[in-house]
Amino acid sequence: MIQADKLITDCRLATMVEGGEPYGAIEDGAILIADGRIVWAGARADLPPHEAIEADRLDGRWVTPGLVDCHTHLVFGGDRSGEFEQRLQGVTYEEIARAGGGIVSTMAATRTASEDDLYASAIARLAGLKATGVTTVEIKSGYGLDRDSELKMLRVARRIGREAGVRVRTSYLGLHAVPPEHRAERGAYVDLAIDDILPAAASDGLVDAVDAYCEPIAFSGDEVSRLFERAEALGLPVKLHADQLSDGGGAALAAKYGALSADHVEHTTEAGARAMGEAGVVAVLLPGAFLMLRETTPPPIAMFRKHGVAMAVATDCNPGTSPVASMTAALNLACVQFRLTPEEALAGATRIAAKALGLQDEVGTIEVGKVADLAVWDIQRPAELCYWLGKPLLARRYVGGRAA
């Protein structure tokens, strides 16, 4: 006899368990939840003997794992809608940056914002993600670029995880850009980011992974290697913004350090894709940034398939290059722009996105032992999650088995 807190019935399950039926689909399914975890899931006809404190009937709706947004910059001050207008009028990103815009503009607004202000603005953006089925979100630092502001961002991210009805994984992105006060002494900032800010963040329990931006306009492979070696010494996994604007060898560097993921990867070569596949590094696809930057070179999807590289999909929600606060919009764009199948895209926002955060044993599929983070949808087939652009589809979310 299974003792459960909740029984969910009269539903169709897209379990997203690999193998078997497309989407891991189960018609007329049921789920038993106890202590926030799934203790049984399958066809309702196969329900074992059980006692449940309460039962939810879902009127034939589809249930998926809660969606996982594995790459966001959700916490920041201000916005850059004015720069968006400038770019549409022909002003280049470089010209905007030289005039004090770009990341520096967001940095200034983030430094002056209070923790409460940062929390309030992030919660407003998070509402869009939650309304599109997200139950787990990764949040990066990287707009403070000094010790106090980076730690402030990470504290706000932790608060979101405690108070806002989502699971949060934090990433320290100190090597995002060189702040203006260190332009003449770049090495001093790299030292500060690696030897001071990162250990402080780790000591305070504020960081789950370490990230960097590896591009000629950002940080070199040698600088990133120093950061990753320090992360390894602190027992922290790594991630990498890689090969977004050029082939800088970022994919191979991520593979060398056993990174959880390499993100963007539009210009990754076959050698890089092969290295990622061999090392089990997830490719995180960010179609919102591809759209907003009007890029023309998509990620090498065929090569990733060829070399067995798992592909996640995320919003990259940020103020400059991807003001996207809808996970279903990201799924649609991944299919339309990158030619993922709907099943690949949904796996990329559930099972594979969980792997990109090191959470594959906790979330991302509907199966026994996983946390009961679920999304319930008003759809007739799972492909609709990638088909509709802007139509409200979510009926409810469960986080740890509780409606949230």
Where is the binding site for N-formimidoyl-L-glutamate, in residues? Answer: 143, 318, 320
Contacts of 176 (CB under 8 A, 6+ apart): 103, 140, 141, 142, 143, 145, 212, 213, 218
Q: Are 355 and 314 in contact (CB under 8 A)?
A: no
Can you tell me the distance from the alpha carbon of 254 to that of 268, in angstroms, rounded to the nearest whole number? 11
Contacts of 86 (CB under 8 A, 6+ apart): 96, 101
Binding positions for Zn(2+) = 71, 73, 241, 316
Q: Are 207 and 154 in contact (CB under 8 A)?
A: yes
Helix (H) or strand (E) holding 328: helix 327-338
Quickly list DSSP for 9-57: EEEEEE---SSSSGGGEEEEEEEEEETTEEEEEEEGGGPPSEEEEEEEE
Binding positions = 71, 73, 80, 143, 176, 241, 244, 316, 318, 320-321
Return the closest-CA partner of residue 283 out of 303, 253, 304: 304
Can you tell me the distance from the alpha carbon of 194 to that of 8, in angstroms, rounded to the nearest whole number? 47
Binding positions for 4-imidazolone-5-propanoate = 80, 143, 176, 244, 321
- For the record, the structure tokens of 188 come out as 């001093």
Residue found by looking up tokens 């000094």 in the block? 146
Binding positions for Fe(3+) = 71, 73, 241, 316
CA dihedral 269, 275, 281, 286 (to 10 degrees): 0
AA identity, residue 249: G
